[in-house]
Amino acid sequence: MKLRFNITLTFLLLSGCLLAQIPALERIEPAFWWVGFKNPKVQLIVHGDKISASAVSLSYPGVKLTAVHKVENSNYLFLDLNIGAATRPGKFPITFKQAGKKDVVYTYELKQRNKSGQWAQGVTNKDLIYLLMPDRFSNGDPSNDVVPGMLETGLHRDSMYSRHGGDIQGLINHLPYLKDLGVTAIWMTPEIENDEPHASYHGYAVTDYYKIDRRFGTNELFKTYVAKSHAMGLKVIKDLVHNHIGTESWLIQDMPMKSWVHQWPKYTNSNFRDAAVMDPHGAAADKKQMLDGWFDKRMADVNQSNPYVQNYLTQNHIWWIEYAGIDGLRLDTYPYNDAAYMADWARKIKAEFPHLSIFGETLVWSVANQAYFTQGNTVNRGFDTQLPGITDAQIKDAITEALNGKEGWTDGVNRLYNIVAQDFMYQDATRNTIFLDNHDMSRFYSVVNEDFTKFKSGMAMLLTMRGVPQMYYGDEILMKGYSNPDGLVREDFSGGWAGDRKDKFTADGRDKQENEAFNYVRTLANYRKTTPALQTGKLMQYIPRNGIYTYFRYDAQKTVMITYNGGEKDAVSNAEDFKERTTGFTTGTNIITHEKLGNLKQLNIPAKTALVIELSK
């Protein structure tokens, strides 16, 4: 879910041209392509004034123009090209000829695919993801803060709904900070153009799929950011939005056809009820509203059953991966998408980039609801979604309950035990992204009522649990805030702007407790980075005893014991209770304090504290 706009927009059928005037050839997308893809087909979308009246021709060895599609709007053509396996890179003209008018010629280029081993390498359970909002992380280039001609030109750091000026250069400037923290992968909320009049700083109301928002930088700078990240051993995740599109997009202002987005007699929101998608007893009307209703009045619901839309989105995503060398994809609002299309999309992406990783946002209300959307689950569908992993909100909620709740049969630490016990529902739960908070929910430190002990325990569980851990920017320095009111979870990272009173990217700019938090996270994150048992090792958990929850991550080289006291009083844990995993081990080392433990049989665990112990013989 995103922050809702407080803007009213008259709901239109959007069937006519709303643009004042467009050139004879306004654009072709994708603007260039590559030779060597497994799928030889590419469909070009052509936009220009009455372009459908044109006769189209091209000539290039290995390239065939197999079809020219005219659609409802005469300002569009869709060109089907077939690129032979032996086609060489190069440029060639595409000519648009109309009687009585000068020919319009577009020079199209086919590039050689990048063969670097660093391209599309995948983000896995070996990684730690750092999520940030580019507008709120750091302003590295004040010259792009305000771009004349764009619909929102204000810059107001005192408003959560206005732009603050953060950009890609600001992130590049702080890559060493993330590397030092122990991060191995970076996920930015969408950085592509959101040219909406208000509150589109978050990036989820795209208006140009092929262009980085000029207030964040340029396509070339984004590519540079990926290259610099790779050079430092950091991977890059791109955030994609299949479900909706900003209403100021050229594709909405002058739609190719009425069926480009879902149309309703009057404005209709999604009901936001994911259960309607999977309910065997559900009403068709509820399912339709869930899938086809608009996300917001400024976010039109894209019609993914339209084959032109399908080609456009899939090709755009392939284009960005190949152009920039992205390693993983996060799919926004996954349950709201057309399931059959998303499965086809995933197959086509995997065919071209077999090592690329994909996970979908599923902010739903049970393990079963999450698992329903994942790869390998064909219940009620008859096909595989091909989605490897999801954002595991159930683990998030269970960790919070373990920290804040009181022990009960299914409450407190037992909630976490029971949620992990349901991993049988997934084809592979280790592909799920686990997290404590993100840009759409209250910050973790506030959720645990600014209890520093609970904060450390939550971080310990995040960085030792199965799956792909993801942190939200500023968690490591105890940033706080609630999602309601006013989106305070999206405050600026202090020190990211010239003139900030404190630079919390540095130890000198942080206070004592912030440094303790940073060092705690850094110690665990870097330990995880060098400990395969915490990445790909097996997990064994024990039923909680007297409010103490214990699990082990282990492989042939190492065994790590994580034990958490969810009670309100200090307690003692006995290793004899876990001898299936502790037999043969006589001592251990506290990973945070480096303290050697002389006796595993009597572990003193303070209230609400998690210990991470590497066992030794």
CA distances from 207 to 214, 246, 300 (A): 12, 5, 11
CA distances from 601 to 543, 598, 604 (A): 18, 9, 10
3-class DSSP state of 135: helix
Contact 168, 120 (CB under 8 A): no
Catalytic residue among 152, 167, 301, 332: 332
Strands 41-47 and 55-58 turn out to be unpaired
Catalytic residue among 361, 392, 476, 514: 361
> Which phi and psi (to 5°) does residue 6 adopt?
-95, 50
> Which phi and psi (to 5°) does residue 140 adopt?
-95, -15
Rounded CA separation 311/313 (Å)? 6
What is the identity of the amino acid at 386? Answer: Q
Whether 511 is a known active-site residue: answer no
Q: How far apart are the first and last CA of the chain?
A: 49
Could you tell me the two tokens for 480? 């706080």
Could you tell me the two tokens for 434? 């686990």
3-class DSSP state of 258: helix
- Residue 426: how many CA atoms within 13 Å on its side-chain side? 25
Please list the alpha-helical segments (H only) found in 358-392: 367-372
CA distances from 368 to 373, 419, 562, 615 (A): 9, 10, 26, 35
Rounded CA separation 260/250 (Å)? 12
Residue 50 backbone class (left: φ over 0; alpha: ψ -120 to 50; beta: rest): left
Residue 72 backbone class (left: φ over 0; alpha: ψ -120 to 50; beta: rest): alpha
CA distances from 404 to 279, 453, 455, 568 (A): 32, 12, 11, 10
DSSP string, 536-601: TSEEEEEEEETTEEEEEEE-SS-EEEEEEE-SSS-EEE-GGGGHHHHTT--EEEETTT-PEES-TT
Whether 361 is a known active-site residue: answer yes
Q: What is the DSSP letter of 407?
A: P
Neighbours of 265 (CB within 10 A): 7
Strands 41-47 and 27-29 turn out to be antiparallel
What is the identity of the amino acid at 58? Answer: L
Rounded CA separation 49/74 (Å)? 8
CA distances from 390 to 85, 289, 498, 578, 593 (A): 35, 23, 37, 31, 34
Strands 299-301 and 244-246 turn out to be antiparallel
Apex CA 510: angle with CA 506 and CA 512, to 5°?
Answer: 130
- Active-site residue set: 332, 361
